[in-house]
Amino acid sequence: MSDDGQRYPLLDRLYQDFLNHENAAAFVKEVSNRYTLGALARLARCGQRVSRRAAVFAIGMLGDYQDNAVLGRALRDSDRAVRLLADNGIRSLWFRCGNARQRKELQLLSRLNNNLRYDEVLRRSTELIESAPWIPEGWNQRGVALFHLKRFDESADDCHQTLEINPYHFGAAVGVGHCYLEMNDPAGALECFRRALRLNPGLEGVRAQVEYLERSL
């Protein structure tokens, strides 16, 4: 019950407690004890504004790749806070695919790419793809490495494959766009950047790129 006597849903109160105390572990524990991921998905889709924020935040903490579509849809929510929470959460979900060993490998691939160890990423991601071709982030991480190795055709192919498996992967759509720019295909790049924006309207850097290409073309 709030100070003005209005009753709020339990999830909203738990989320407000998190905002007040910044104790994510307590929030996750309380939510997981009281809500299933299915219930959170329904609230993320149909709840009031604060409930949608709380549900999307909780799914980002508790969910895995099976919840990808829930957060993918939330990227286009009418509320900016929901969109931002979905953006942060869905990037984490992409690495929670497969068994424990495969998830650990995805995290390692990301760190290796961040540390510019592209040849090692290429080797390890190819091994992962051969054993589990249904994991989209394996293809995406290899696409990132191939791009930095200036193998743009192959990078674009891997990004396309990522999108075939995970149609919400706006990062792969952006990646294809950059490949097309390197291959001197601005019209193709423009269409890819537009696709990324349709998936995630909050990509302001991509929006600026679209406006520049539209003027140029």
Residue 2 within a domain: no
State the residue range of the domain holding 23. 10-93
**Contact 164/39 with Cβ under 8 angstroms?**
no
Answer with the one of 44, 71, 93 that is the final residue of a domain: 93
The verdict on 42 and 110 lying in the same domain is no
The verdict on 21 and 66 lying in the same domain is yes
Query: Which residues in the chain show pLDDT less than 50?
Result: 1-5
- CATH, residue 73: 1.25.10
**Contact 183/152 with Cβ under 8 angstroms?**
yes
Distance CA 91, CA 128 (A): 19
The verdict on 88 and 44 lying in the same domain is yes
Q: What are phi and psi of 125, to 5 degrees?
A: -70, -35
**Contact 135/155 with Cβ under 8 angstroms?**
no
Residue 202 within a domain: yes
| DSSP conformation class of 67 | G
pTM for the structure as a whole? 0.93
pLDDT tens digits for 191-203? Answer: 999 999 999 999 9
- Given this model, what pLDDT does residue 7 score? 56
Residue 4 within a domain: no
Answer with the one of 58, 93, 128 that is the final residue of a domain: 93
